[in-house]
Amino acid sequence: MNGAGASVVSPGQAALVLISRELRLAWRRWGQSLHPVAFFLMVTTLFPLALSPESAQLRSVAAGVVWVGALLSSLLALETLFRADLDDGTLEQVVLSGQPLAALMLAKTLAHWLVSGLPLVAATPVALGALAVPAVAFGPIMLGILLGTGVLSFLGGIGAALTLGTRRGSVLLSLLILPMAMPVLIFGARAADLAVRGEPAGGGLLLLTAMLVLTVTLAPLATAAAVRICLE
């Protein structure tokens, strides 16, 4: 009756199955999936209208605007990370799949980033263009957003799992995640600002990379533990 040796899937294969399920679900609900990136584009492109059409002034705030937009948009996307899975019982099934839960949480968070973080990276040039940032700065800033949204997704995974037990956990989630997200915002925005001024931004990007490595390796373990707690 037990799964016979040859047909048992490895944790890696199971992770791929979970990622493909998440991507298919995101595709089926594309309107909901696009919500965070639409929010990001609205925030960043409304600034030139509200602030001033003067390029120099826009350029001086561009890094901060793009990064705050990305941070808030990431927080917005986090609420949906585990909530639906908890409500329909699929989270229980994932926990009882017989696979290491941390591997599946890594897959789940990665899929979440692919759906919510990657579109932000793709939308960044539009925002930067609206904020009169020179095109040479696009590369480093997009790289920063790529790394930063990754860190935020993995940090946020812990928060989203921890706040599952509370109905309306979104305020609590923000309170929990924002302090941990501050270093990402500070280094990311600083690196972006340096890039806008045409100075080397490598230092900040390396720090973001280090944070990403740290969160990718450790956050899934914490997320898995938090998910087990919330199912209790």
Partner 1 sequence: MTEPARGLEALHLHLWRGDRHVLKGLSFSVGPGELVHVRGPNGVGKTSLLRTLAGFLYPEEGEVRWCGQPIGADRDGYAAALAYLGHDNGLKGDLSARENLRYALGLRHAVDPAAVTATLERLGVGAVADLPARSLSAGQRRRVALARVALARASLWLLDEPFTNLDAAGSAAGAELLLEHAAGGGMALLTAHGELEAIHRPRRLELA
Interface with partner 1 by CB under 8 A: which residues?
Answer: 1-4, 7-9, 14, 17-18, 20-21, 24-25, 28-29, 87-90, 92-101, 104, 231-232
CB of 87 to partner 1, least distance (A): 7
Nearer to partner 1, 84 or 136 (CB): 84
CB of 167 to partner 1, least distance (A): 16
- Length of the chain, please? 232
Report whether 43 contacts 65 (CB < 8 A). yes
Handedness of CA 150, 156, 158, 160 (dihedral sign): negative
| Smallest separation, CB 162 to partner 1 (Å) | 17
Give the contacts of 21 (CB within 8 A, at least 6 positions apart).
none
Q: Which is nearer to partner 1, 78 or 224 (CB)?
A: 224
Pairwise CA distance, residues 156 & 162, whole Å: 10
Considering the complex, state which of residue 18 and residue 145 has its C-beta at the smaller distance from partner 1: 18
DSSP states of 76-101 as a string? HHHTTTTHHHHHHTHHHHHHTTSS-H
Side chain identity, residue 123: A
Q: At its nearest, how many Å lie between partner 1 and the CB of residue 169? A: 19
Given the complex with partner 1, which of 6 and 49 has the nearer CB atom? 6
